[in-house]
Amino acid sequence: MLFTSEHEEVRRSLQKVIAAEINPHVDVWEAEGRFPAHDVFRKLGALGFLGLNKPVEYGGMGLEYSYALLMAEEVGGISCGAVPMAIGVQTDMATPALARFGSDHVKREFLAPAVSGEQVACIGVSEPGAGSDVASIKTTARSDGDDYVITGGKMWITNGAQADWICLLANTGDGPAHRNKSLICVPMKEKGVTVARTLDKLGMRSSDTAQIFFDEVRVPKRNRIGEEGKGFTYQMMQFQEERLWGAAACLKPAEWIIDQTIEYTRGRQAFGKSILDNQVVHFRLAELKTEVELLRSLIYRAAEQMMAGEDMTTLASMAKLKAGRLGREVSDACMQYWGGMGYMSETPVTRYYRDSRLTSIAGGADEVMLSIIAKAMGTLPGMSNRS
């Protein structure tokens, strides 16, 4: 059994915070195109939610990963996709490698304030010419004595306009692309760091997503996470937690929009009966509900594999793939049943339709997930173990 009574206490506490401190403000934040990350994160951090599975000595709760998974699932109860995504960046995208491989110094300087919510973190991997193809990034951090001097740029950076520091992937050598990169914690206030612009997006409207430039930015080498040249490996490990988090965060929104669609179609009349009374509608909603439960089972199985110390790469990739495609399927089907109202910005299905589309793109596109799965199956072209 993945969740115990202790887990359920954490779930109820988080639900209360979301209901009282977050959801009442979401519509305003969506309209403004930004939510107050520092205010929200301080409230979550003060209650321990930003460090459930982070080390106690740096302010975390020191709990097993299942608690972090529970949080990923529960923040899906926030009535937009942007705020959960920003929280996930803080807990499961910018900090896992830091918590696992960082020195005591770098953990105290960057992890501890991220866990407390006093600082906002972002993750800097993607570039205009290197999204899913991480190995081809161009940002460099050349060695200069005890410092790195960073030049380049990052794109589509969630929390980027409000972040205090960025977990940056940069080339620190001239060797092979998978062994010449390092992860470096870079304070956003350093000279030469420029938030060039915030990006206007289809969905995730209240998330500040930025393009960031680095012009001869000097940071001490002690800000590096782990060993030099291991950044690509660390980031691939970090991606697994990000992808599992992203899949788990999709569960409650999908369930909620199905429930909202049931309520709407039950009350909407056409040709003398409710829309819900049409078999094609209630059967389709039953199918979608079943698909959500199947996704939940896959996510939980991947989490159990991770907690057992096994490689969850394939299952996490499957969960990420399925979550993105199921979000597209649920949003499209439910919007259709809302009819003309489904095309209005004021209805919840419209926001879900916009927000859910990102899951198939961010954190590794569907096609990347399929390649990872095919590699595990031995069917990727060029593999020697194909059958």
**What integer pLDDT is reported at residue 387 of this predicted model?**
42
CATH number assigned to the domain with residue range 5-120, chosen from the 4 options 3.40.120.10, 3.30.1360.120, 1.10.540.10, 1.10.533.10:
1.10.540.10
> Which pLDDT value is given to residue 386?
46
Is 204 a residue whose pLDDT tops 70? Answer: yes
Q: Average pLDDT, stretch 325-345?
A: 97
Its pTM stands at 0.95
| Whether residue 68 has pLDDT greater than 90 | yes
pLDDT digits (tens, 9 = 90+) for 41-54: 999 999 999 999 99
pLDDT at position 132 is 82
Percentage helix, strand, coil for the chain under 3-state DSSP, each rounded to 5: 55, 15, 30
Over range 282-295, report the average pLDDT. Answer: 98
The arithmetic mean of pLDDT across residues 78-93, rounded, is: 98
Amino acid of residue 294: L
Instruction: Decide which of 2.40.50.100, 1.10.3720.10, 3.20.20.70, 1.20.140.10 is the CATH code for 233-377.
Output: 1.20.140.10
Class of 122-227 per CATH?
Answer: mainly beta
pLDDT, tens digit (0-9, with 9 covering 90-100), for 291-301: 999 999 999 99
Q: Which helix (H) or strand (E) holds 156?
A: strand 147-158
Name the token pair of 278: 């049409």
pLDDT higher than threshold 60 for residue 384: no
Average pLDDT over residues 269-280: 96
Domain map of the chain by residue range? 5-120, 122-227, 233-377
- Tallying the residues shown for the chain, one arrives at 387
As annotated, the active-site residues are 242
Residue 272 predicted with pLDDT over 60: yes
**Tokens linked to 52:** 């459930």
pLDDT in tens, 125-145: 999 988 888 999 999 999 999
Residue 215: pLDDT band (50, 70, 90) is: very high
Whether 291 contacts 218, CB under 8 Å: no
Cα–Cα–Cα angle for 196, 362, 119, nearest 5°?
55
Can you give the pLDDT at residue 382?
83
* DSSP states of 287-352: HHHHHHHHHHHHHHHHHHHHHTT---HHHHHHHHHHHHHHHHHHHHHHHHHHGGGGGSTTSHHHHH
Among 345, 180, 342, which Cα is nearest to 257's? Answer: 342
Residue 2 pLDDT: 87
